[in-house]
């Protein structure tokens, strides 16, 4: 078990879906930073269910209570801790699952790892609900970064077969980033959003679910943030992104497409613009040798379809080792991608803030 992460901005995430509370401690926030709790709440609301007809009607208040770390709304250097109390829990839905693991869930692996002692209610510590504390920490990190001119935004790049236009690799106007962050269904092209919604509702009607891709851009990261090898930006971002439930792929810049390109096409030529060194294309996704090159940092995360579906599935009863049918009840998102968008931003913000602080140690 290691639900902690980060070198300077060290977060420790805790909670289970149906425990009294979930939350996070954030150690290492620089002192003297104002935390706008209203803006944080607005950010968290983007992750909450029920904003759109396509998501689960479950209500998650997600109102964090800051236990410490602030004095008069300003970071005081001490660790910040925040909790969200769990209120709307219906434990009975989950009783059968201890012995009959749900396909594509962590029920079976947790059963083996924890010897049957894991909390099965609502997925326990494996629940997507645990991304709320990540968003509290990341939402605060986003505020610090924005104050320094680093802007992070994500959108739904695709759901099922429906695709939004990609972010422009050389950067988007800030209004575009702000627009997509305000949108209840964050896409760049409205038409794409409609096609995605249709795909989600069709899947729901079929008792099924769909996956998708979230694309994220970070603009304004200065040159020289990151490190070679294991503390490279790609390594650290990927580690944070794969910690989000349902992420099965991560790529930077051209990503997997780069594997089909030639060097003459993929290599981003350097150029001087307004006295600054920039690249004329951005196949690298803003990262060379693990270190930011001053261009927008651009990456995508692939989410598998929600594992909880209404259709009957095949599983085994662990105690008897017999094949059985499984019917999952309860309310579930037929697609978690829209709600995952701010989680991706949060993960990116935590890693980038950490790396920017780490850069301060390059000079003595």
Contact status: 319 vs a second copy (CB under 8 A)? no
Cα-trace Rg, the chain? 21
The answer to the question of residue 98 lying near a second copy (CB under 8 A) is: no
DSSP 3-state assignment of 219? strand
Instruction: Give the separation between CA 74 and CA 70, rounded to whole angstroms.
Output: 5
Residue 289 interacts with a second copy (CB under 8 A): yes or no: yes
The torsion of the CA quartet 197, 200, 203, 209, rounded to 10 degrees, works out to 170
Stretch that binds a second copy, among 41-49, 60-68, 165-173, 185-193 (CB under 8 A): 60-68
Report the alpha-carbon distance of residue 229 to residue 235 in Å, rounded: 8
Binding segment for a second copy (CB under 8 A), chosen from 41-49, 53-61, 186-194, 271-279, is 271-279
Among 55, 219, 282, 292, the residue binding a second copy under the rule CB under 8 A is 292
Q: Tell me: does residue 128 bind a second copy (CB under 8 A).
A: no
Local structure of residue 123 (DSSP, 8 states): G
For residues 69 and 126, give the distance between their C-alpha atoms in angstroms, rounded to a whole number. Answer: 27
Euclidean distance between CA atoms 87 and 57, whole angstroms: 15
Q: Which helix (H) or strand (E) holds 157?
A: strand 151-159
88 versus 323: smaller Cβ distance to a second copy: 323
Q: How far apart are CA 270 and CA 292, in angstroms?
A: 14
196 lines the binding site for a second copy (CB under 8 A): no
Contact present, 271 and 279 (Cβ < 8 Å): yes
CB 51 within 8 A of CB 45: yes
Residues numbered 157-176 forming contacts with a second copy, rule: CB under 8 A: 158-161
Q: Per CB under 8 A, which of residues 210..249 are in contact with a second copy?
A: 210-213, 223-224, 226-232, 234-236, 238-243, 245, 247-249
Q: Can residue 352 be called a binding residue for a second copy (CB under 8 A)?
A: no
The answer to whether 44 touches 143, Cβ cutoff 8 Å, is no
Q: Is 209 in the site for a second copy (CB under 8 A)?
A: yes
Using CB under 8 A as the criterion, what x/- string covers residues 13-52 for binding a second copy?
A: xxxx--xxxxx-x-xxxxxxx-------------------
Query: What's the min distance (Å) between Cβ of 193 and a second copy?
Result: 16
Which CB, 177 or 356, lies closer to a second copy? Answer: 356
CB 225 within 8 A of CB 231: no
Cα separation, 143 vs 349, in Å, equals 9
Among the candidate windows 40-48, 49-57, 172-180, 280-288, which touches a second copy by CB under 8 A? 280-288
Identify residues 61-90 at the interface with a second copy (CB under 8 A).
65-69, 71, 74-81, 83
Is 360 a binding residue for a second copy by CB under 8 A? The answer is yes
Contact residue for a second copy among 90, 113, 329, 331 (CB under 8 A): 113
Residue of 192, 288, 297, 341 interacting with a second copy (CB under 8 A): 288
Does residue number 284 form part of the binding site for a second copy (CB under 8 A)? yes
């Amino acid at each position: 078990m290691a639900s902690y992460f980060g070198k300077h901005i060290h977060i420790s995430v805790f909670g289970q879906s149906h425990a009294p509370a979930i939350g996070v401690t954030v150690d290492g926030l620089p002192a003297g930073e104002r935390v706008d709790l209203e803006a944080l709440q607005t950010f968290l609301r983007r992750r909450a269910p029920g904003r759109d007809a396509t998501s689960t009607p479950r209500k998650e208040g997600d109102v964090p209570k800051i236990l410490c770390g602030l004095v008069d709304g300003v970071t005081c250097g001490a660790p910040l801790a925040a909790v969200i109390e769990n209120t709307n829990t219906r434990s009975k839905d989950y009783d059968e699952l201890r012995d009959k693991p749900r396909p594509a869930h962590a029920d079976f692996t947790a059963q083996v790892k924890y010897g049957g002692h894991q909390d099965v209610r609502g997925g326990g510590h494996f629940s997507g609900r645990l991304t709320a504390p990540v968003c509290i920490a990341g939402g605060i990190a986003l505020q610090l970064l924005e104050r320094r001119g680093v802007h992070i935004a994500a959108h739904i790049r695709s759901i099922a077969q429906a695709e939004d236009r990609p972010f422009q690799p050389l950067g988007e106007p800030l209004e575009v980033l702000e627009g997509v962050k305000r949108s209840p269904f964050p896409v760049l092209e409205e038409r794409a959003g409609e096609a995605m919604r249709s795909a989600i509702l069709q899947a729901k009607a079929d008792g099924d679910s769909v996956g998708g891709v979230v694309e994220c851009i970070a603009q304004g990261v200065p040159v020289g943030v990151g490190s070679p090898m294991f503390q490279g930006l790609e390594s650290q971002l990927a580690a944070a992104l794969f910690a989000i439930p349902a992420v099965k792929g991560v790529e930077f810049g051209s990503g997997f497409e780069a594997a089909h390109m030639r060097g003459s096409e993929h290599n981003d030529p350097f150029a001087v613009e307004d006295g600054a060194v920039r690249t004329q294309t951005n196949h690298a996704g803003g990262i060379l040798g693990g270190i930011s090159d001053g261009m927008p940092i651009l990456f995508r995360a692939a989410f598998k379809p929600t594992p909880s579906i209404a259709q009957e599935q095949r599983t085994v009863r662990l105690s008897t080792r017999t094949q059985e049918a499984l019917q999952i009840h309860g309310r579930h998102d037929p697609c978690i991608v829209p709600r995952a968008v701010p989680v991706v931003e949060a993960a990116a913000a935590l890693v980038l803030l950490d790396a920017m602080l780490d850069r301060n140690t390059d000079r003595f």
